[in-house]
Amino acid sequence: MIYRSVALYAAYFAQFLKARLAYRADFAASLLSNLVGGAAGVLFVFFLMDGKTITNLRGWSREEILLIYGFSTIAMALFSFVSFNLFRFGDRYIVQGNFDRVLLRPLNSLCQVLFETFNIESLGTLAVGLAVVSYAGRRLGIAFTAMDYLWLLLGSLSGALILLAVFIFVASLSFHFEDRLGVSAPVYNLINFSRYPLPIFHPVIQFILQWIIPFAFSAFYPAAYFLKRPELLPYCYAVPAVAVVSLAIAGTAWSFGVRRYCSTGS
């Protein structure tokens, strides 16, 4: 069953790739712009904390911040790979009625929406993220044992799934409010907070990022595992569980929305 689904969505991906690569110049340009965009953010942190004017942020060193930033970049890249349709879900699927077509196929509706478009260009961002993590990791003296690699995989995958869950939840609001609610843009901007150490923020923001929109678990806690700050470790270990719970809540909100789906006119 799972094998069949994987094979099927791999076929979705192959089809998408074919269509996407048909416009070669366009593809190359956006791959490049993703790479540059990803690198620009990192270089900003790198030069801002150049060790002369700003050496640390409330006790967090440049390398530590770069590590968190790198984790965030990886999670964002994995998330952007499949999330594109969530941001235009209300418009493209509900208002324009494409969700009818989704429901007519003998497949899970959410998977179809996620896997009908891929953002292949985000592979450029992924490369940037991996480079930053490996640079910051070496500067911090991380040994990169097999266990560390496993955590890198598990942590960033969980981080991406948390981002995905939040935006599945936001997209599922479109089932109830057809009049395009502008929620996803402000929530998306909140992701920026996840690229820095949580303790530097005001307690209210910390509370929101930890317990309401759990972006703190998307990059900061996965990265904190490497930072030798024992008081954070329990939260680090909770990261995969937070991902599972977030996805369960988002999935429930989605199915509840599908039940309320009214389709459009004609």
Partner 1 sequence: MSVIEAANLTKTYRTFQRRSGVWGAVKDLFYREYEPLTAVDAISFAINDGELVGYIGPNGAGKSTSIKMLTGILRPSGGTARVLGYDPYSERKTYTHHIGVVFGQRTQLWWDIAVQESFRLLAKIYRVPEPLFKERLGQLSSILGLERLLATPVRKLSLGERMRCDLAASLLHRPRVLFLDEPTIGLDTLGKDAIRAFLKQVNENFGTTIILTTHDLREIEELCRRIIVIDHGRIIYDGALSALKAMPGIKRSLTVDFSATVSPGELIRLFDGKIPFEQQGERRASCEFDPQAIIPAEVVRTLMNALPVADLTLAEPSIEQVIMKIYRDGAQ
**Packing angle, helices 2-21 and 24-48, rounded to 10:** 100
Strands (DSSP E) contained in the chain are 56-57, 60-61
Please tell me the distance from the alpha carbon of residue 243 to that of residue 253, in angstroms, as a whole number. Answer: 15
| Residue 14 or 143 having the CB closest to partner 1 | 14
| Residue 15 or 33 having the CB closest to partner 1 | 15
Provide the token pair at 190. 């909140």
Query: At its nearest, how many Å lie between partner 1 and the CB of residue 9?
Result: 10
Please tell me the distance from the alpha carbon of residue 217 to that of residue 139, in angstroms, as a whole number. Answer: 23
Give residue 117's identity as a one-letter amino acid code.
Answer: T
76-82-83 Cα angle (round to 5) = 70
| Residue 55 or 263 having the CB closest to partner 1 | 263
| Residue 101 or 228 having the CB closest to partner 1 | 101
Query: At its nearest, how many Å lie between partner 1 and the CB of residue 253?
Result: 17
| Residue 93 or 193 having the CB closest to partner 1 | 93
Query: At its nearest, how many Å lie between partner 1 and the CB of residue 264?
Result: 9
Query: At its nearest, how many Å lie between partner 1 and the CB of residue 160?
Result: 26
Query: At its nearest, how many Å lie between partner 1 and the CB of residue 29?
Result: 18
Phi and psi for 191 in degrees, rounded to 5? -55, -30
Local structure of 61: helix, strand or coil: strand
Binding site for partner 1 (CB under 8 A): 7-8, 11-12, 15, 18-19, 22, 97-98, 100-101, 103-108, 259, 261-263, 265-266
